[in-house]
Chains A and B, each alone.
Chain A
Amino acid sequence: MSADGVGALEILGVVLVSCLFSLGGGNGPLAVIQDRWVSKGLLDPALFAWAIALGYLSPGPKACFVSGVGYFLYGVPGAAAAIAGLVLPTWVGSAGVAYGYSKLAPLIKAISLPAGFVIAGMIAAAAWGMAGPMALGTVEIVAAGMVAVAVAWRNLEPAIVVLGAALAGLAWSLLA
């Protein structure tokens, strides 16, 4: 399950950088991780999706999914490195904002307006990158489209989507 060549330091570094893309939306890290490990074949897309699903089902910050990604890449040390990559920039960022919000405000204001649009593009690219290796059939594409519409227009709770999909998969496996 662990990928060759991905160590704890790389996990720490990638998650740390990915955190910087949380501005404007919590899914920024996900796009960077998909780009760095899933699209390069270092992490199975299904395992990546599984880690995200667990993140949606778990209490606390949804970004905790990175511990699953770290585990799939490098075992328990990988999970610890991923959590460190999540916590360290947040720690520094919190202190920075607490100290000098007034000085940072103009820069943050300039970036925060386009941030939502840039993150939206990053997430779309991540979704596309995940869907590619899965070679979805027509029915599966329609199902993914229905989920997208439900989430975008009806604010469907992600945990319900994940639980519903797991139950559908269980029924699918029983029928098969």
Chain B
Amino acid sequence: MTAADLPQARVVGLAELATVFLRIGATAFGGMWAATQQLEAELVHKQRWLAPEEQQALMVAATVIPAPKFLAFAGLVGFRLRAWPGSMVALLALVTPGALFVLLGAMLLNPATLGEPLVLIRRAVGIAIVGLLFGNSWHQLRNARLRGWRQAAGVGLTLAVAAAAMAGVPLLLAAIAGFAIGAVVLRPPAAGGS
């Protein structure tokens, strides 16, 4: 299917938009990229709201919005279909199932209700989360699209930001400085360059 095959001038209702994104929010696990096939099945083939290439373009555009990618994608699809109201409806619908799940988990599985057995479970989970975060940090470095001296400079930037934050420099300040220095030092290689 291409954009030319899409039904013309069909107005998508906000309730319909909300229903579809609620369903996606309640059944998609692992983030936007992990849900690619599910999104295509729902938005391209079932609802026929987007062409495949349009879905891919919106997914790429979502990665450049300073917001969680999955949410940004929903916001873009909602905006594409119903402008500002559609964007808000899609966002709220996507976030609601997960937010309720976490909220209920926080309410029902808190130390006051479960007491002593939860203490050791929480500690074990806490240790796992610490490992998970260090692993995610490492994974970010491994996935960097740079090679050679640019990669080395990037790793230096990572270490500098981390060391500054650990040494007591406000995290936001360290991050903003990192972005500024990185934008100057790590310019995209010129066409044909390294």
Contacts and interface: CB of A to CB of B under 8 A. Distances in A.
A24 B71 CA distance: 14
User: Chain B: interface residue count, which band?
Assistant: 35 or more
Contact of A90 (B64, B71, B105, B129): B71
Interface string A2-38: 0000000000000001011111111101111001100
A170 to B, nearest CB: 6
B192 to A, nearest CB: 18
B14 interface: no
A127 B76 contact: no
A114 B188 CA distance: 10
B122 interface: yes
A114 B126 contact: no
Interface stretch (B4-12, B48-56, B174-182): B174-182
Contacts of B143: 116
B191 interface: no
A93 B67 contact: yes
Interface in B149-194: 154-155, 157-162, 165-166, 170-172, 174-175, 178-179, 181-183, 185-188
B176 to A, nearest CB: 9
B98 A143 contact: no
B80 A125 contact: no
Q: Give the interface centre of A45, A47, A65, A165 by most chain B CB atoms within 10 Å.
A: A165
Interface residues of A, number: 111
Given A63-B68, A83-B99, A121-B159, A126 B135 contact: no
10 contacts: A19-B68, A26-B68, A52-B132, A59-B97, A60-B28, A79-B106, A111-B179, A147-B127, A169-B121, A173-B121
Interface of B: 24-32, 61, 63-72, 75-76, 78-80, 84, 87-88, 91-92, 94-95, 97-103, 105-107, 109-112, 116-117, 119-146, 154-155, 157-162, 165-166, 170-172, 174-175, 178-179, 181-183, 185-188
List 5 tightest A-B contacts by C-beta distance, closest first: A114-B182, A147-B131, A151-B135, A121-B161, A94-B75
Interface of A: 1, 17, 19-27, 29-32, 35-36, 45-47, 49-65, 67-68, 71-72, 76, 79, 83, 86-87, 89-91, 93-98, 101, 104, 108-131, 134, 136, 140, 143-153, 155-159, 161-162, 164-166, 168-170, 172-173, 176
